[in-house]
Amino acid sequence: MKISDQTLKMINQLPKATRVKVDQVIRTHVAACRKTGSPIENLDRLFIEAVEIVKLEERCPETRLEYSSEWEPFRRYDQYLSPRDL
């Protein structure tokens, strides 16, 4: 499988930190494909999507909420009232 010149140029223009993250996404994807026995169809598309994923995660990082085991959600269970009771 080969990578097109445009894709290679795009990868070379990335900053080193971004390139490392893209490499990690690609390695994870390839490992998952090997584990499941799926073929890797198109390397160009794989690299482009990995770059898009990294840029999206940098722009909108995943928010992590702190969780306390002492906290419980407010629950309110209304009992059914028949129309005669009203």
Round to whole Å and give the CA distance between 62 and 85. 49
Round to whole Å and give the CA distance between 75 and 46. 46
SS (HEC) of 42-85:
CHHHHHHHHHHHHHHHHHCCCCCCCCCCCCCCCCCCCCCCCCCC
Find the mean pLDDT for residues 67-72. 74
Question: Residue 10: inside a domain, yes or no?
Answer: yes
In the structure encoding, which two tokens stand for residue 24, read together? 């990690």
Number of domains in the chain: 1
**Structural domain containing residue 44:** 5-59
Question: Residue 20: inside a domain, yes or no?
Answer: yes
Question: Residue 43: inside a domain, yes or no?
Answer: yes
The percentage of residues in the chain with a pLDDT greater than 70, rounded to a whole number, is: 97
Q: Which of 15-24, 58-67, 73-82 has the lowest mean pLDDT?
A: 73-82
* Residue 80 pLDDT: 73
| pLDDT tens by residue, 7-28 | 889 888 999 999 999 999 999 9
- Please state whether the predicted TM-score (pTM) of the whole model is above 0.95: no
